[in-house]
Amino acid sequence: MTNKVTVLGSLNVDTTMRVKRMPLPGETLQAENKSSAAGGKGANQAVAAARAGAETSFIGKVGKDSSGQFMIESLQDDNIDTTCIATDETVGTGSAFILLDEEGQNSILVYGGSNQQVKKEEVVAAEDKIKNADFLIAQFETPQAAAVEAFKIAKANGVFTILNPAPAAEIDPELLKLSDIIVPNETESATLTGIEVTDEASMVANADKFKEMGVENLIITVGSKGAFYSTKAGHDFVPAFKVKAVDTTAAGDTFLGSLSSQLKPDLSNIAEALTFAQRASSIAVQRLGAMPSIPTYEEIVEANK
């Protein structure tokens, strides 16, 4: 059965500058290459879900500019339903500027633009897209008030809510209570719980802390090492696949989107879904760019052979 996934999130045009190494404070370096592509955490996650086989819809906002039209068309190229993407008449489309070094590590500056203008009423207007989904995903590149509204609609209609608290920020306690699962990386998890992620015991302590905050289920992504999960049924660590990374820009988004395409709302197949997501992410980091690097279902399955 095909999962139906709705993503509330950001739409950014990414400009990537390739450099030998990161500049020091006050230092000017020559960029070796410059390229632009569709991106934004929300858009990347939606594309990852769609390419991995999910029926995907998007809730977000763009500016009244060529970048906004480019973003909508980019999602439509992956058969994502864009009818709930609003247009802001006064604020431009979001953008991100990515420095990428020879080791595949990145530093990113994000301009929120119209992403920061997503309002509750636009979420309410997308109620049908939320009600008819199996999973609703939100991150922190759009306002938390919009996510709270969306998650309320989801919970009232039995839709499983996935919160990706990235970039890390102080979380509205109400949003945590409305989240069925939270998916931070190890840095974000430590920022939110105050417990550094160093080993399995500290991951379990993070899970316990999130339960105190109102979230029963947790996945912590630990870069090239893998992912830890904790549910009512227990906890475990799923190792990542060893590959040579050339660009880690959309690794986490690829992981989350492809996870949502395979996961069952009762979490009964979480280990298998995580393995699938890890494989998808391992393909993405071997390619350049955010959205262009995200693999299809066929590529993920083929890599498993």
Give CA–CA dist 37/26, Å, rounded: 28
- Would you call 180 a catalytic residue per the annotation? no
91 marked as part of a ligand binding site: no
222 marked as part of a ligand binding site: yes
65 marked as part of a ligand binding site: no
Among 88, 134, 180, 253, the active-site one is 253
Q: Give the HSE-up count for residue 292: Cα atoms under 13 Å, Cβ half-sphere.
A: 13
104 marked as part of a ligand binding site: no
252 marked as part of a ligand binding site: yes
6 membership: H or E segment, kind and range: strand 4-8
68 marked as part of a ligand binding site: no
Give CA–CA dist 305/285, Å, rounded: 19
40 marked as part of a ligand binding site: yes
Token couple for 69: 């039209």
Q: Which residues are within 8 A (CB) of 24 and not within 5 positions of it... i.e. 6 or more apart?
A: none
214 marked as part of a ligand binding site: no
Cα 63–chain centre separation = 21
Helices (H), the chain: 41-51, 66-76, 120-125, 127-131, 144-156, 173-177, 186-193, 200-213, 251-262, 270-284, 297-303
42 marked as part of a ligand binding site: yes
Inter-axis angle of helices 270-284 and 251-262, nearest 10: 140
226 marked as part of a ligand binding site: yes
Token couple for 83: 């009818």
81 marked as part of a ligand binding site: no
Active site residues: 253
Residues at the binding site for ATP are: 185, 221-226, 252-253
Residues at the binding site for K(+) are: 247, 249, 284, 287, 289, 293
Residues at the binding site for substrate are: 12-14, 40-44, 141, 253
Residues at the binding site are: 12-14, 40-44, 141, 185, 221-226, 247, 249, 252-253, 284, 287, 289, 293
